[in-house]
Amino acid sequence: MSELIYKNKNVFDAPGEGELEKAQSYAEGYKSFLDASKTEREAVREAIRLAEEHGFVPITDAARHDGAARFAPGAKIYKPIGGKALFLAVIGKLPPREGVNIAGAHVDSPRLDLKQLPLYEDGEMAFFKTHYYGGIKKYQWVTLPLALHGVVAKTDGSVVDISIGEQEDEPVFFVSDLLPHLGREQNKKTLGEAFTGEQLNILIGTKPAGGEKDTDRFKTAVLELLSAKYGIAEEDFLSAELEAVPAGRARDAGFDKSLILAYGHDDRSCAYAALKAMFDLDGAPEKTAVCVLADKEEIGSEGVTGSKSQIFESFIAELTGGVDFTLKCFENSFCVSADVCNAFDPNFPDVSEKNNAARLNHGMGVMKFTGSGGKSGSSDASAETVARLRKLFAENGVAWQMTELGKVDQGGGGTIAKYMANRGIETIDAGVPVISMHAPWEAAAKLDCYMTYKGIAAIYGKNR
Ligand code: MN
Ligand code: MN
């Protein structure tokens, strides 16, 4: 083959020395992270636990200890935002105002949130009403075991943590579907119409309290159980965030165990890569490395914990020594918007354009642009940025591939990239190619997860 021809390789065909083994052990750590992180709150809690194990301290403590010097090179700090987003940094040899290298991932995933008044009974059964979060295909969320995770904030200031449905001896919950025998009318509907949001009601109990003459006795029975176990009453749901997610652990998939089937690869595969790369930094990098674990990406990155929030400016100001330096810092910064992309699926070849589709096991997927239609809504990284990444990845043994989100005019999507780029930060999208993205169980290749970690490590450590 002519040297002029570009051909992207399957990593299995040319793995670096020891890389396949390293990818396997990386995957074990990643699966543990997934199992501990079924929600954004849990992901932040687990990230902090791991960060503290690696010597990171809350930013308030670090500032006090380092006094006038503020943060010494190599200082490891973190700052949680409302328990649902997290910033971490390893201070570089250059002061942070000279620019930072950022990896920004998100830790929220599509799911069924409970409504604020979720509990009702019908047909001698008790249910929770839900309001789905993020882009789901509703038919995928029926007849599978669901676990409930989240918090109930009470007026006395206490917060009750809830996680039920993950352990073998705990009950699970589910949304019912119609039996095919009576599905004649349902079958005539389109996929998008066959299930409505208001039908995604979770069955939670069938045993009544009291006697036949009592009212609301199925609802009451559930409330009695919740009161005994969690000390909450129905009114407390008003200030609760409870999320129904697929119950169960991340599993190896395929005879060769080359894949991981799990809930929430989008975007915890990149969140874990961004974290792990930060933990594995050897001393102070040249420029300060910043890891952003954002919330609310799946619903538009709005709010305090989303990546549009000025809380990021506030955090950078803490690093640079003031807001005056923050914009200048952004100008000299780089951000990889670490988010998943879609992997080519031969079951659905028509939505992809083969020359520009990510393949499983071909490494980290880089997207120069996202958006839809004529690249609408994309920050579109510059050619120079891509060239720099090509060089950086080549020098650091990072297997990667260029990709785009499906055929032209097939659909589209976005990430946090544009919100970072709009700050004046040079930004590009890159992350793990995923099969069945946004399904309750998504699949990703271990090699691609590992290569994404390597790619982010290169960006933290050696970029610019
Ligand atoms: Mn994502
Ligand atoms: Mn997503």
CA of 210 to the centre of ligand 1 (A): 47
* Same domain for 102 and 51: yes
Per-residue pLDDT at 66 exceeds 80: no
Coil, helix or strand at residue 355: helix
CA of 89 to the centre of ligand 2 (A): 25
Encode pLDDT of 174-231 as tens digits.
Answer: 999 999 999 999 999 999 999 999 999 999 999 999 999 999 999 999 999 999 999 9
- Comparing 1-5, 61-65, 212-216, 405-409, which segment has the lowest mean pLDDT? 61-65
> Does residue 255 form part of some domain?
no
| pLDDT attached to residue 461 | 87
Name the phi and psi angles at 168, rounded to 5: -55, -35
Looking at residues 323-327, what average pLDDT do you find? 92
| pLDDT attached to residue 463 | 53
| pLDDT attached to residue 392 | 97
CA of 145 to the centre of ligand 2 (A): 21
- Comparing 207-211, 256-260, 321-325, 438-442, which segment has the lowest mean pLDDT? 321-325
CA of 336 to the centre of ligand 1 (A): 13
| Domains identified in the chain, total number | 2
CA of 240 to the centre of ligand 2 (A): 24
- Comparing 55-64, 82-91, 171-180, which segment has the lowest mean pLDDT? 55-64
The ligand minimizing its distance to the Cα of 105 is: 1
* Same domain for 96 and 27: yes
CA distance 102 to 98: 13
Per-residue pLDDT at 444 exceeds 60: yes
* Tokens 């083994």 -> residue: 21
Per-residue pLDDT at 384 exceeds 50: yes
**CATH number (domain holding residue 116):** 2.30.250.10
Looking at residues 18-23, what average pLDDT do you find? 97
Predicted TM-score (pTM) of the model is 0.97
> Does residue 122 form part of some domain?
yes
- Domain-ending residue, one of 219, 246, 273: 246
* Same domain for 223 and 115: yes
CA of 297 to the centre of ligand 1 (A): 7
* Same domain for 218 and 304: no
Could you tell me the residue range of the domain that residue 139 belongs to? 111-246
Read off the DSSP letter of residue 195: S
The ligand minimizing its distance to the Cα of 107 is: 1
| pLDDT attached to residue 369 | 93
Percent of the chain with pLDDT over 90: 94
The ligand minimizing its distance to the Cα of 134 is: 2
Alpha helices in 121-216 (DSSP H): 184-188, 191-194
* Same domain for 360 and 348: yes
CA of 78 to the centre of ligand 2 (A): 25
Question: Which residues hold their Cβ within 5 A of ligand 2, which is an ion?
Answer: 266
Per-residue pLDDT at 65 exceeds 60: no
CA of 266 to the centre of ligand 2 (A): 5
- Domain-ending residue, one of 246, 280, 297: 246
CA of 8 to the centre of ligand 2 (A): 26
CA of 260 to the centre of ligand 1 (A): 17
| pLDDT attached to residue 63 | 63
CA of 424 to the centre of ligand 2 (A): 24
CA of 415 to the centre of ligand 1 (A): 6
CA of 387 to the centre of ligand 2 (A): 27
* Same domain for 425 and 279: yes
> Does residue 257 form part of some domain?
no
Radius of gyration, CA atoms only, the chain? 23
* Same domain for 449 and 308: yes
- Domain-ending residue, one of 216, 246, 276: 246
* Same domain for 421 and 289: yes
* Same domain for 83 and 52: yes
The ligand minimizing its distance to the Cα of 111 is: 2
Name the amino acid, one letter, at 242.
L
- Return the number of other C-beta atoms located less than 10 Å from residue 200's C-beta: 19
Encode pLDDT of 362-379 as tens digits.
Answer: 999 999 999 999 999 999
CA of 63 to the centre of ligand 2 (A): 35
| pLDDT attached to residue 155 | 97
| pLDDT attached to residue 378 | 92
The confidence band for 464, taking pLDDT boundaries of 50, 70 and 90, is: very low
| pLDDT attached to residue 149 | 98
CA of 182 to the centre of ligand 2 (A): 34
* Average pLDDT value over all residues in the chain: 95
> Does residue 254 form part of some domain?
no
> Does residue 252 form part of some domain?
no
Q: Please list, in sequence order, all residues whose beta carbon lies within 8 angstroms of the beta carbon of residue 245, skipping any fewer than 6 positions away.
A: 38, 39, 109, 111, 112, 146, 147, 149, 263, 264, 440
CA of 444 to the centre of ligand 2 (A): 14
| pLDDT attached to residue 323 | 87
DSSP element (H, E) containing 451 = helix 446-462
CA distance 402 to 7: 11
> Does residue 15 form part of some domain?
yes
**CATH number (domain holding residue 288):** 3.40.630.10
CA distance 69 to 55: 19
The confidence band for 445, taking pLDDT boundaries of 50, 70 and 90, is: very high
Per-residue pLDDT at 244 exceeds 60: yes
CA distance 170 to 147: 9
| pLDDT attached to residue 115 | 98
> Does residue 410 form part of some domain?
yes
Q: DSSP of 128-141, one letter per residue?
A: EEEEEESS--GGGG
* Same domain for 358 and 453: yes
Q: DSSP of 418-446, one letter per residue?
A: HHHHTTT-EEEEEE-EEESTTSSSEEEEH
| pLDDT attached to residue 440 | 98
> Does residue 258 form part of some domain?
no
| pLDDT attached to residue 77 | 96
The ligand minimizing its distance to the Cα of 136 is: 2
| pLDDT attached to residue 68 | 47
CA of 131 to the centre of ligand 1 (A): 20
Looking at residues 282-308, what average pLDDT do you find? 97
CA of 338 to the centre of ligand 1 (A): 8
Per-residue pLDDT at 305 exceeds 90: yes
* Same domain for 332 and 188: no
The confidence band for 60, taking pLDDT boundaries of 50, 70 and 90, is: confident
Looking at residues 318-329, what average pLDDT do you find? 92
* Same domain for 408 and 276: yes
Looking at residues 6-28, what average pLDDT do you find? 96
The confidence band for 320, taking pLDDT boundaries of 50, 70 and 90, is: very high
CA of 444 to the centre of ligand 1 (A): 13
